[in-house]
Amino acid sequence: MQRRRFWGWGYENAGPEPSELAAVAAALGPLLGMQDVQRTPPPSLEELELRPPRVSAPPALQRIITGDAFERAAHSYGKSYRDLVRAFRRDFSNPPDLVAVPENEDDIRALLDFCASSQIAVIPYGGGSSVCGGVEPDVGAAFAGTLSLDLRRLDRVLEIDRTSRAARIQAGVLGPRLEQQLAPAGLSLRHFPQSFEFSSLGGWIATRSGGHFATLYTHIDELVESLRLVTPIGTVETRRLPGSGAGPAPERLFIGSEGVLGVIVEAWMRIFERPQFRASFSARFGDFVGGAEVVRQLAQSGLHPANCRLLDPLEALLNGAGSGDRAVLLVGFESADHPLDAWLTRALELSRAAGGEVAEDAIRLRRDEPGERQGDAGAWRSAFLRAPYLRDELVALGVFVETFETAVTWDRFRVLYEAVLGAAHEAGGGAGHKCVVTCRITHAYADGVAPYFTVLAPARRGAELEQWTDVKTAITGAMLRHGGTTTHHHAIGRDFLPFYQRERSDGFSLALTAAKRALDPTGVLNPGVLLDSGP
């Protein structure tokens, strides 16, 4: 069994090659003006002094509850920049008191009963890839203790309804194991967030995650047919329906509820035949905003490309998909049913008409072959999958590295884009420090777009968390001022709550609070996430 790192991304024995690390360290001079960088080694378990658990498991639950130091350390944080900074500081001062690994729904019911009657906060935990403080047991002083409820043992595809093309799947399954179980039937959920390797179905649903479909099925929401949850007052199950006009949609109350209303235990998911036909191309544009105009046209064309990602020149360069002087647009179509020649032809027409340069060898039209895995798209894809490992290494080298994403209607896109670039440079740089800001478009809609910014700067050693707050406040403030949302697909957690509170209406806050009180009367489920903390 490979063991995952308790402090960061991936398996203990995986990670970048020494040559990759040397290349990263060497690039920091020219890119960020950082010379003689010092690498902080990752923490070891022996270096940590974990606070003794403040509560203990009742005998009946000891089978599924542990106070093991590795498990407690591994459940202390998610995988955000703030989390990594504190891990590298060896700051594990607030671990969960207990970690539970239930085997079934009855176990979860018993755990919720125990926690509700003992005033112990429960933090549902899927893959632990939260980047917004969603799994951190930071619940305030009103609770006797905290329990991280890890769903990893609920990891099976239970049933496949081939006729309706749907599958009943347990919530704790991580991406690769989910796909492994669907593959023999020629099926796939086709939901591939960048965190796919170490994130779970329940986590995707609880956070409304965004997958690889750049248009149409951008969020997991569209793939959920029905849900089953265990709440402190009992089980809630929604009906399997392709659509319904019977009042507000019940499953939509729970999709995005981030563990505050109940524990998602399984879901019927809409699934797909594995694609056989693929078509793709990449186009180069003089500037990012010009490329974005083609993304708008594609999103409004009804062609529904599976991939429609625009990288600004530097983003393309850093991901090996361009030379750094042009924006690169990656477009891909996929189908299990029909050839895609007509779709490709029309998308090429739109791109070229808007001044996009498309080299003949950048066009691929294949059957049964992953056409996207070569050329610009292939380079971008492999860099995309390696990025989380390299991100941890950058933090070790003292680089501030964080991503900020949003969504905005097309009419306000350009102003928002420029305002965010300005805010990012101002807050991320300063005091003679270089700051690099890149942008890519990750998802596109007929009425708007989701831009995704990456900020790289020398970290203010010792004051990284303050630096994060400054940059986050400046960038998300600019996003909200210019019509954007706090997040397009990274969820709210604890870290983004102040921004979320600025964008939601009072009436909706009241309704959400009332739902929370009704389903979780003692307030033990993930306190401080989505709503202010407090029993």
Ligand X SMILES: Cc1cc2nc3c(=O)[nH]c(=O)nc-3n(C[C@H](O)[C@H](O)[C@H](O)COP(=O)(O)OP(=O)(O)OC[C@H]3O[C@@H](n4cnc5c(N)ncnc54)[C@H](O)[C@@H]3O)c2cc1C
Using CB under 6 A as the criterion, which residues of the chain lie in contact with ligand X when the complex forms? 78-79, 123-131, 134-135, 151, 171, 193-195, 199-200, 202-204, 206-207, 209-210, 258-259, 263-264, 388, 489-491, 493, 526, 529
- How many CA atoms within 13 Å lie on the side-chain side of 327? 24
Secondary structure (3-state) at 27: helix
* Closer residue to ligand X (CB): 151 or 455: 151
* Closer residue to ligand X (CB): 435 or 529: 529
CB of 98 to ligand X, least distance (A): 15
CB of 126 to ligand X, least distance (A): 3
* Closer residue to ligand X (CB): 278 or 490: 490
* Closer residue to ligand X (CB): 89 or 152: 152
CA distance 530 to 515: 12
CB of 291 to ligand X, least distance (A): 21
CA distance 313 to 422: 17
| 258 φ/ψ sector (left φ>0, alpha ψ -120 to 50, else beta) | left
SS (H, E, C) 459-473: CCCCCHHHHHHHHHH
Total length of the chain: 535
* Closer residue to ligand X (CB): 279 or 306: 306
Q: How far apart are the first and last CA of the chain?
A: 39
CB of 140 to ligand X, least distance (A): 16
CB of 129 to ligand X, least distance (A): 3
* Closer residue to ligand X (CB): 436 or 529: 529
C-alpha dist (Å) from residue 495 to 469, 492, 531: 10, 7, 12
CA distance 416 to 223: 30
CB of 301 to ligand X, least distance (A): 24
* Strand partners of residue 228: 237, 266
CB of 325 to ligand X, least distance (A): 27
Residues 324-350: b if buried by 16+ CB within 10 A, e if exposed: eebbbbbbbbbbeeeebeebbeebbeb
Q: Which long-range contacts (CB under 8 A, 24 or more apart) does 174-178 make?
A: 174/127, 174/198, 174/199, 174/200, 175/199, 175/200
* Closer residue to ligand X (CB): 11 or 345: 11
Residue nearest to ligand X (CB): 203
Residues 81-106: b if buried by 16+ CB within 10 A, e if exposed: bbbbbbbbeeebebbbbbbbbbeebe
CB of 367 to ligand X, least distance (A): 28
CA distance 283 to 326: 9
CB of 237 to ligand X, least distance (A): 14
